[in-house]
């Protein structure tokens, strides 16, 4: 385990212990007062699936985005394979997360801190506790960027397909990693997320990675998220490690 991973796990443990709780209104509950996570999925006032809430997925996806896939399911091209091998051999020394930089998409979902989805008819905002990061998912056409300046988190647009929200994110720089292992991507990365609220307490997100410079074909993973019905986000500060952290020693 590289040192940046260990640091994240320790921070995650502290976050879980410190996470403040309150009794949220409008939550279906069992007879013992606990949130009924298997209750029916809610709808918004305007008729779409309601994705709002505090959510968290398994940290294994931050460690290895392809953790649920067979090894040959990630079809890296030779250039991508060489970069991946270099990162593994160097113990993740250059991982941007170790320098408090934005994790990118979809890695931001798997970092071991909760996310908060805020939903409106034309815009969905995802607030990430980690690094106090955010995403905007535009559900109309006014925010389409034709020639995007490459960014860490990309540019996201979405549309409804029944009760599933389909989000397309492009316009990335090539500085983020897909996971701790160092699965690479280029600026041509396109991430497609199909987000469904299967019941009150669970989201299922199918994530397709499409990058013709790093992979021979698109590949898909599925992440399940659990609702923290009575939780909230905490302040997250990560600014001291930006200048060559001495604990990242490499090979």
Residue 178 lies inside a defined structural domain of this protein: yes
Q: E strands along the chain, which residues?
A: 53-56, 115-119, 123-128, 133-138, 155-161, 164-170, 190-199, 202-210, 219-227
Residue 250 lies inside a defined structural domain of this protein: no
Residue 65 lies inside a defined structural domain of this protein: yes
Residue 146 lies inside a defined structural domain of this protein: yes
Range of the domain at 143: 3-23+41-227
pLDDT at 178: 98
Residue 246 lies inside a defined structural domain of this protein: no
Helix or strand run (H / E) with residue 71:
none
Residue 79 lies inside a defined structural domain of this protein: yes
pLDDT at 3: 47
Residue 248 lies inside a defined structural domain of this protein: no
Residue 44's Cα: distance from chain center in Å? 23
pLDDT at 23: 76
37, two tokens:
């996570």
pLDDT at 244: 55
Residues of the chain with confidence (pLDDT) below 50: 3, 5-6, 8-18
Residue 236 lies inside a defined structural domain of this protein: no
Domain count, the chain: 1
- pTM reported for the whole predicted model: 0.87
Q: Where residue 131 sits, what CATH number does that domain have? A: 2.40.128.20
């Amino acid at each position: 385990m590289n040192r940046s991973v260990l640091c994240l796990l320790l921070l995650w443990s502290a976050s879980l212990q410190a996470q403040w709780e309150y009794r949220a209104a409008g939550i279906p509950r069992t007879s013992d007062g606990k949130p009924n996570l298997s209750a029916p999925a809610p709808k918004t006032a305007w008729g779409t699936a309601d994705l709002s809430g505090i959510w968290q997925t398994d940290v294994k996806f931050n460690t290895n985005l392809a953790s649920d896939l067979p090894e040959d399911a990630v079809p890296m091209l030779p250039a991508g394979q060489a970069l991946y091998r270099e990162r593994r051999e160097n113990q993740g020394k250059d991982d941007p997360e170790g320098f408090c930089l934005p994790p990118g998409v979809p890695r931001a979902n798997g970092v071991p801190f909760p996310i908060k989805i805020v939903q409106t008819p034309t815009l969905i905002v995802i607030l990430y506790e980690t690094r106090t990061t955010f995403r905007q998912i535009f559900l109309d056409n006014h925010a389409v960027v034709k020639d995007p300046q490459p960014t860490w988190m990309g540019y996201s647009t979405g549309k409804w397909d029944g009760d599933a929200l389909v989000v397309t994110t492009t316009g990335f720089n090539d500085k983020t990693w897909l996971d701790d292992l160092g699965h690479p991507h280029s600026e041509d990365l396109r991430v497609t997320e199909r987000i469904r609220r299967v019941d009150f307490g669970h989201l299922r997100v199918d994530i397709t990675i499409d990058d013709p410079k790093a992979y021979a074909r698109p590949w898909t993973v599925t992440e399940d998220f659990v609702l923290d019905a009575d939780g909230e986000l905490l302040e997250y500060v990560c600014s001291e490690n930006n200048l060559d952290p001495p604990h990242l020693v490499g090979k």
